[in-house]
């Protein structure tokens, strides 16, 4: 509790403000998710029951899963359960045996996080290295070559890049497996081999954004007075960039890195479908097809929460690493 005359630390105040904004945003997104699922075409009971559907069994199934209640009531029941860590039961599994949504999502989310982590370990250091080198040797053949390659990868859709890599690396030269089917019993070495093509696809997609932001941020700072002073002192170009320019360029770099890390979890749906990788994106696509409402809602909410959390983290890190933002005029 603050004493009279005391002020909350700017970092603490910023964190609390960002967390409050994030929770409010997630609440609004949850309403959007629930509403969009409500507008999915088709009859949920027919899609789930299949040939066993009759008007009587359909009505009974709706009463069992709560679809006979008003949408507002179902939304507040759902969000209340989610707030207590209960995502409900899968509709599609009720015909055989009941499975909770958490049981379905847990292994798939672990697979997606493994693929995202593998990609981040490769992509983030590579992007920072290429961005620094491109700024260090600005307008050289290296800088031009890297820019041409990154612009080419940015302009290609993920699925097109995935099929190109699959064609050349899996079909033509047969260095890597074309499909990334893994399970809980897959050993680490085999898992890394099967995830190589999806990870390479995602790396090529996100490295371009991070590299170009790193290069642009450093180049913008090279015209600053303190950089000119460092040069006049006789410091080498590499020392000026690494010791003086890079620390002050962290704010935009961290933002774009966090944005791309969020994409690794949220935007892997296309890549997972192309390589039949058993991640949460593939699960969401399958659940939309089978009209498994609780699973679709849980996957979408996890995607939204991940995106919001990583962007809030980037905002906080940017403010913490830039003292000027802590003392607004």
φ, ψ for residue 138 (rounded to 5)? -60, 140
Which residues have a Cβ under 8 Å from the Cβ of 3 and sit 6 or more positions away?
A: none
Contact status, residue 176 vs residue 196, Cβ threshold 8 Å:
yes
pLDDT of residue 327: 56
pLDDT of residue 4: 45
Contact status, residue 149 vs residue 235, Cβ threshold 8 Å:
no
Q: Which two tokens stand for residue 262?
A: 């969020």
Q: How far is the C-alpha of 329 from the C-alpha of 326, rounded, in Å?
A: 10
pLDDT of residue 9: 66
Q: What is the pLDDT of residues 216-271, one digit of tens each?
A: 877 777 777 777 777 777 777 777 776 767 667 676 777 778 778 877 777 778 88
The residue to which tokens 């899996």 are assigned = 170
Question: Helices in 174-292 by DSSP H: which ranges?
Answer: 188-194, 196-221, 225-232, 237-239, 246-248, 250-266, 269-274, 280-289
Q: Residue ranges of the domains in the chain?
A: 115-280
Task: Look at phi and psi of residue 300 and say left if phi exceeds 0, alpha if psi is from -120 to 50, else beta.
Answer: alpha
Q: How far is the C-alpha of 198 from the C-alpha of 253, rounded, in Å?
A: 24
C-alpha distance from residue 303 to each of 9, 238, 311 (Å): 31, 39, 12
Q: How far is the C-alpha of 303 from the C-alpha of 308, rounded, in Å?
A: 9
Contact status, residue 44 vs residue 88, Cβ threshold 8 Å:
no
Q: How far is the C-alpha of 70 from the C-alpha of 78, rounded, in Å?
A: 12
| Full-model pTM | 0.79
Angle at 284 between CA 280 and CA 287, to 5 degrees: 135
> What is the dotted CATH code of the domain comprising 115-280?
1.10.3720.10
Which residues have a Cβ under 8 Å from the Cβ of 226 and sit 6 or more positions away?
A: 244
Q: How far is the C-alpha of 81 from the C-alpha of 30, rounded, in Å?
A: 13
Which residues have a Cβ under 8 Å from the Cβ of 303 and sit 6 or more positions away?
A: 265, 266, 280, 284
Contact status, residue 135 vs residue 147, Cβ threshold 8 Å:
no
Between 293-321 and 10-38, two packed helices, what is the crossing angle to 10 degrees?
A: 160
Which residues of the chain fall below pLDDT 50? 1-2, 4-5, 329
pLDDT of residue 43: 66
pLDDT of residue 271: 87
Helix (H, G, I), strand (E, B) or coil at 16: helix
Q: How far is CA 148 from the centre of its chain?
A: 26
**Residue of 307, 288, 286, 261 whose CA lies nearest to 108:** 286
Helix (H, G, I), strand (E, B) or coil at 100: strand
Q: Which two tokens stand for residue 134?
A: 């491109």
Q: What is the DSSP letter of 2?
A: P
pLDDT of residue 326: 56
DSSP letters along 272-307, please? HHHTT--SHHHHHHHHHHTT-HHHHHHHHHHHHHHH
């Amino acid at each position: 509790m603050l004493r009279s005359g005391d002020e909350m630390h700017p970092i603490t105040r910023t964190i609390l403000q960002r967390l409050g904004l994030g929770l409010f945003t997630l609440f609004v997104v949850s309403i959007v998710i629930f509403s969009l699922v409500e507008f999915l075409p088709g009859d949920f009971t027919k899609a789930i029951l299949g040939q066993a559907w009759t008007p009587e069994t359909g009505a009974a199934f709706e009463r069992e899963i709560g679809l006979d209640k008003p949408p507002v009531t179902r939304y507040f029941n759902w969000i209340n359960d989610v707030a207590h860590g209960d995502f409900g039961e899968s509709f599609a599994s009720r015909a055989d045996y009941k499975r909770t949504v958490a049981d379905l999502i847990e292994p798939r989310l672990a697979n997606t996080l493994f693929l995202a982590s593998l990609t981040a370990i490769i992509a983030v250091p590579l992007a920072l290295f290429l961005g620094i080198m491109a700024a260090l040797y600005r307008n050289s053949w290296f800088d031009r070559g890297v820019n041409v390659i990154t612009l080419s990868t940015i302009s290609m859709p993920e699925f097109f890049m995935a099929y190109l890599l699959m064609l050349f690396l899996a079909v033509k030269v047969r260095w890597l497996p074309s499909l990334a089917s893994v399970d809980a019993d897959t050993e680490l070495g085999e898992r890394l081999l099967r995830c190589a093509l999806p990870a390479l696809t995602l790396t090529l997609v996100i490295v371009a954004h991070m590299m170009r932001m790193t290069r642009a941020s450093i180049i913008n700072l090279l015209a600053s007075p303190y950089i000119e002073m460092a040069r006049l002192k006789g410091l080498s170009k590499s020392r000026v960039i690494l010791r003086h320019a890079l620390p002050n360029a962290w704010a935009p770099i961290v933002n774009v890195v966090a944005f791309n890390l969020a994409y690794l979890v949220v935007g892997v749906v296309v890549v997972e479908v192309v390589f039949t990788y058993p991640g949460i994106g593939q699960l969401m696509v399958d659940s939309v097809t089978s009209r498994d409402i609780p699973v679709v809602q849980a996957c979408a909410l996890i995607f939204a929460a991940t995106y919001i959390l990583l962007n809030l983290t980037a905002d906080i890190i940017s403010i913490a690493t830039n003292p000027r933002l802590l003392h607004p005029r």
